[in-house]
Amino acid sequence: MVAASAIGDPRFFRRTGPHDLGRITAEIGIPTPEGVDRLIEAVAPLQSARPEDLSFLDNRRYASALEATRAGVVIVHPQMASRVPPTAVALVTREPYLAWARVCALFHPLPPLTSGIHPSAVIDPTAEIDPSAEIAPFVVVGPHARIGARSRIAPFAHIGTGVIIGEDCRIGSNAVLSHALLGDRVVLFPGVAIGQDGFGFATTSTGHVSVPQLGRVVIHNDVEVGANSTIDRGSANDTVIGAGTRIDNLVQIGHNVRTGRCCVIVALAGISGSTVLEDFVVVAGQAGFAGHLRIGKGARIGAQAGVIADVPPGVEMLGSPAFPAKEFFRQVATLKKLATRAKPPETPSSKTETD
């Protein structure tokens, strides 16, 4: 194993630089400190950073690491600027984590695009692929599919008939897409399955009869879908994922689900058919939803919550079945009091001593 102060093993991550402070502050969108001229070679954690590295702090719990760091430049919130050691230059911003993201992308950009179609890819003659797109080995692109400018399709991905992929998208290895329309800058990680049949069937006395699923999956701009997550196509209406939404690994989204803008859905969550998540809803890990619900704007659903009713905007829900947080904690406190209540006094023994 190779140890290093900076993050980003060069075997896996391309690195640019060094970059001067002016380039870095321009990326963050803040003024360059006056009278400071410093060249930064890499980004690194506070604990291992060298004088030629840049680091950041976004959590007060690590303030002691900030005070002891050897980093040459540190991105911090204004409230922590006084704790930056004199050996470091403080880049002060109210959004240090966002600044860190931008600087990391500066030092570690995506690999350069390799435009063109690999000879082993199988491309239907009716498919439309922008010349700037990158089609890796063993990709399959079906009839009448369209792939936009600068999009990257990784090995063994399958792009089904009629699928549309916008510009600057990244489709991971072994992803499978059918009945889907993707906007720009959509990222699908390896193993994602988009557009398969929804879980719809009629039950009879002799068994189940599958109902044709005639909708699509519509994914708006700037959405990311984590590895091995699945999004079913609609039964009649479309399944829609709103712009800027982030979906973690191993998430299941049923047919006709609609999410608003910038929702966050964490790993192992399951959303049943025809449920609507309004803008900026956050769903924690392993939460589950019954079907045909409406989750209001900005609601927060806790880990392992079981949501069986509509949720008003801005409410935090916990537990299974899920209750508003205040009510949930009140129930927990009541149960704790009952469990720890003093035991009743023991009754006198009926046994008597004999002479």
Burial 249-263 (b: 16+ CB within 10 A, else e): bbbbbbbbbbbbbbb
Sign of CA dihedral 234, 271, 145, 201: negative
pLDDT of residue 3: 47
Count of Cβ atoms closer than 10 Å to residue 159 Cβ: 28
The phi and psi torsions of 105 (rounded to 5 degrees) equal -65, -30
CATH of region 19-107: 3.40.1390.10
pLDDT of residue 72: 97
Burial 220-247 (b: 16+ CB within 10 A, else e): bbbbbbbbbbbbbbbbeebbbbbbbbbb
Q: Within its chain, how far is the Cα of 128 from the centroid?
A: 30
Sequence spans of domains, the chain: 19-107, 175-327
Apex 264 CA angle, 261 and 269, nearest 5: 130
Burial 29-51 (b: 16+ CB within 10 A, else e): eeebeeeeebebbbbbbbebbbe
Task: Say if CB 170 and CB 185 are below 8 A apart.
Answer: no
Which one is catalytic: 19, 158, 220, 255?
A: 255
pLDDT of residue 292: 98
pLDDT of residue 200: 94
Count of Cβ atoms closer than 10 Å to residue 107 Cβ: 24
Task: Say if CB 99 and CB 116 are below 8 A apart.
Answer: no
pLDDT of residue 338: 87
CA dihedral 198, 204, 208, 209 (to 10 degrees): -60
355 residues of the chain, pLDDT tens digit each = 444 556 889 999 999 999 999 999 999 999 999 888 899 999 999 999 999 999 999 999 999 999 999 999 999 999 999 999 999 999 999 999 999 999 999 999 999 999 999 999 999 999 999 999 999 999 999 999 999 999 999 999 999 999 999 999 999 999 999 999 999 999 999 999 999 999 999 999 999 999 999 999 999 999 999 999 999 999 999 999 999 999 999 999 999 999 999 999 999 999 999 999 999 999 999 999 999 999 999 999 999 999 999 999 999 999 999 999 999 999 989 888 888 875 666 666 555 554 4
pLDDT of residue 2: 44
Q: Which amino acid is at 69?
A: T
Catalytic annotation on 220?
A: no
The phi and psi torsions of 158 (rounded to 5 degrees) equal -125, 120
Q: Which fold has domain 175-327?
A: UDP N-Acetylglucosamine Acyltransferase; domain 1 (2.160.10)
The phi and psi torsions of 187 (rounded to 5 degrees) equal -120, 120
